[in-house]
Amino acid sequence: MGTSSVPHHVAIVMDGNGRWARQRLLPRAAGHRAGMETLRRVLGWCAERGVRVLTVFAFSSENWARPPDEVGAILRLLAKALIDEVPRLQQAGVRLHVVGERSGLTPELVQGIAEAERATAGNTALILNVCFNYGGRWDIVQAAQCLAQQGAPITEASLAGALALAHVPDPDLVIRTGGEQRVSNFVLWQLAYSELYFTDTLWPAFDEAELARALAAYAQRQRRFGRTPEQAAAA
């Protein structure tokens, strides 16, 4: 027996940009640009299907170890997207949150993020969380440090409330493209009861049919949250 609705919150590890580019004898930066186009389309498809929160893993804390030219291309792509995409987000009613450690980013990029978030703050159709310079372990540590500085007790509820993604419910469905079957330090606390879906499709090639397959797989699963199958069915 499956769930009767689409997931409220979908999170995606957008993997495979570099391999997509290499298969086409293109520089890795071309794969990241193609991946941005895919994200734009996926955002629209999710909105059409009733998904209310989309969280994507754009740049991890570990990605700084990649070749400097690739890191630079990703940073430039984000800076450009913050300018180019805001009008589209406004038109679609999408609220943007850029989630992650900002101390390692340039002042210009931090300012661009803040301006984009302010510009879309009143939108209510869908929330887009772009996890940039983000890691699940970083998120848990910064939440614990915040509570410790406040002298607040550290409980499951208080820690959850101090996480960088506390403004949205936990992901119902986590999708990873590119053929790898691991979570790679993404939303570690929040995916405790998420449904996982892995596909071999490289992110730039991820299309509407692949999204439909992921949502169909989710709809066939029974989410028990520690209960027996009979209890879950009754609920």
**Residues 115, 99: Cα–Cα separation, whole Å:** 14
- For the chain, the average pLDDT equals 92
Q: Tell me whether residue 200 is one of the annotated catalytic residues.
A: no
Residue 228 has pLDDT above 70, yes or no: no
Q: What is the pLDDT of residue 1?
A: 42
- Kindly name the residue from 15, 139, 170, 172 that is annotated as catalytic: 15
Of 37-51, 58-72, 193-207, 216-230, the one with minimum mean pLDDT is 216-230
Q: Tell me whether residue 185 is one of the annotated catalytic residues.
A: no
pLDDT in tens, 158-168: 999 999 999 99
What is the average pLDDT across 108-121? 94
Q: What is the pLDDT of residue 161?
A: 98
Of 23-27, 109-113, 209-213, 229-233, the one with minimum mean pLDDT is 229-233
User: Looking at per-residue confidence, does 77 or 153 come out higher?
Assistant: 153
Residue 3 has pLDDT above 70, yes or no: no
